[in-house]
Chain A
């Protein structure tokens, strides 16, 4: 937020910021330096530089005059004169679209009630023609049944209630029952996840809602322990960790999609469309299933124990047919 090295800002970016900063102060009549600096994600020093720059503007003709008058005495900013730029500049097409596309995605998640719809209408109204491009970018979030589950989770979050889940673990092909104290809904890459304190695992877990078989809001207050830490969604939900198993696969041309579908640590071309892919995972169960599905189009190169496990499973399955 504040402190640190001054950032390089181009004159255009700085002008854009100033044209928002002046109306920001005008609409609030008086603002403290610290509050304005935080709102614009800049240091107080940078803020004062910007204020000085605006104050220094002088037009020479026809009569010399200073169109902007302001002060920041005692740590409080006031703008006494800035008639022409007292309102912010209109939203550009990119700005309106970035917000509207995000809001329409939010509108598909039944968690936020009416505020999303009202806000969309207001921004469309304010953006005018700039909003047009936004209708050409669309985000589809999950299916209707998942949205129904999200609505239940949202209810539980609002009421502070515990949830009971029947959850399908795809990698292990097993169903588990667990009580979860909900923390948040995450919508990442079009998929909705419940983040919560799992009382079975005694830790924070993510549950993909399209793998929830059944969900019940319990009449028990949720108790998320103080040590429960939210995932940093900006760092990616499934960041591989060093403790994860390193898996090396050789893929034939028909199985190249695998390297595209799962995030790989490295991908090497082996010629004739073949690939060597390296990935990391905390649970190799799904790799075993993947290798069985790919048949002769894939081979597990490492770890050796996993390669053995895959072959043993295939042999055992084949034995059923004899």
Chain B
């Protein structure tokens, strides 16, 4: 069955590419093998075939040859069908091979592999080696484990609004959001979607891993307009920005320890207690920095300010509670 269907679809493609005028459904039936004689059965089968061809990206065009034609016909314009001339240098072919291996999610890995085949088919690379298997010393990978990724990618591509349930940071229950998505961004290894939140009437950013349940399309393709001045990357960055380090602390850090803390030190001097350094550092906010300092255990002690000192003590007592 599948073989005959492939043969039929291929026949339609060749027929319509060769034709200079629009061919009606009847003319196509007369030329292509494999359609049933019965009219309704043929119509159903032909509809499915058209749909399948369009899904493959074949530019099936509808129109009439002259104003007197009552029934529209079909054709495929060669210039819309054909991949334009493209010739790759050997180093470009190598990079192309790497790029085609980046995606690890099935849908995009398949799309990348499909593109690679088309580009390989367009022209042999300017060298007879099998360049797309080279490594060039770099291997990038992107995974999209978040179930929401696929639907959001489609929504962004087709300019469609979406609805989804989202659990905000620090909450345990989900709220329904209606979003006009502007873009999907991977920032510090995590996926985010940014866009216009319809209920809040303002730009918002959502982390994909906090979306629960399915992402549903909430409008037709083309119904979202991305504002020309929208900078999606900046939106995500500013949403996840590190606050300014405008506080100062004085710490006692064991010599050789607290390497990560010393990066922010403005002053390091030996402490009066042997084996310890006295370190002046800048930090942003007390709760977060107290957590961070507690993680160093007995290698770090806070001298000032008092509220930071108290917060660290509270954390440590919490461990023993």
A interface with B by C-beta (< 8 Å): 9-12, 14-21, 23-24, 27-28, 39-40, 49, 53-54, 56-62, 67-68, 83-85, 87-99, 102-103, 105-106, 109, 111-113, 115-116, 118-119, 122-123, 125-126, 128, 133, 136-140, 154, 157-158, 168, 170, 173-175, 182-191, 213, 233-234, 253-254, 256-257, 260, 273, 288-297, 310-311, 313-321
Contacts and interface: CB of A to CB of B under 8 A. Distances in A.
Given A317-B301, A318-B317, A154 B189 contact: no
B1 to A, nearest CB: 8
B175 interface: no
Given A91-B83, A99-B96, A314-B297, A292 B316 contact: yes
B227 interface: no
Nearest to B5: A11
Given A91-B115, A317-B298, A12 B137 contact: no
Interface in B88-113: 88-89, 91-92, 94-96, 98-100, 102-104, 107-109, 111-112
User: Lowest 8 CB-CB distances: which A-B pairs, in order?
Assistant: A295-B318, A296-B318, A189-B189, A95-B115, A102-B102, A313-B297, A92-B57, A293-B295
A20 B139 contact: no
B52 interface: yes
B301 to A, nearest CB: 4
14 contacts: A21-B121, A24-B120, A24-B121, A57-B14, A85-B17, A87-B81, A106-B138, A133-B156, A138-B232, A168-B259, A173-B259, A213-B259, A233-B141, A314-B316
Chain B interface main SS type: helix
Given A88-B118, A168-B260, A173-B260, A99 B99 contact: yes
Contact of B7 (A57, A95, A189, A290): A57
A205 to B, nearest CB: 16
Contacts of B177: none
Contacts of B225: none
B164 interface: no
B257 interface: yes
A295 to B, nearest CB: 3
B3 interface: yes
B84 A88 contact: no
Interface centre among B17, B56, B115, B188 (most CB of A within 10 A): B115
Contacts of A154: 137-138
Given A158-B137, A190-B187, A318-B313, A92 B114 contact: yes
A66 B6 CA distance: 16
B205 interface: no
Interface string B52-89: 10011111000000000000000000101111101011
B316 A317 contact: yes
Nearest to A321: B313
Contact of A184 (B119, B137, B156): B137
- How many chain B residues sit at the interface, stated as a range, is 35 or more
Contacts of B100: 99, 102
B185 A12 contact: no
B209 interface: yes
Contacts of B243: none
Contact of B120 (A39, A112, A158, A291): A39
B301 A53 contact: no
Contact of B139 (A90, A175, A187): A187
Interface of B: 2-3, 5-7, 9-11, 13-15, 17-18, 27, 30-33, 52, 55-59, 78, 80-84, 86, 88-89, 91-92, 94-96, 98-100, 102-104, 107-109, 111-112, 114-124, 135-143, 153, 156-157, 169-170, 172, 182-190, 209, 226, 232-233, 237, 252, 256-260, 291-292, 294-301, 309, 313-321
Contacts of A189: 141-143, 186, 189
A274 B104 CA distance: 32
Given A173-B257, A191-B189, A296 B92 contact: no
A17 to B, nearest CB: 7
Interface centre among B124, B140, B257, B313 (most CB of A within 10 A): B140
A40 B121 CA distance: 10
B209 A260 contact: yes
Contacts of B299: 173
Contacts of A317: 294, 297-298, 300-301, 316
Contact of B30 (A61, A173, A233): A61
A94 B309 CA distance: 54
B226 to A, nearest CB: 7
Contact of A122 (B31, B92, B141): B92
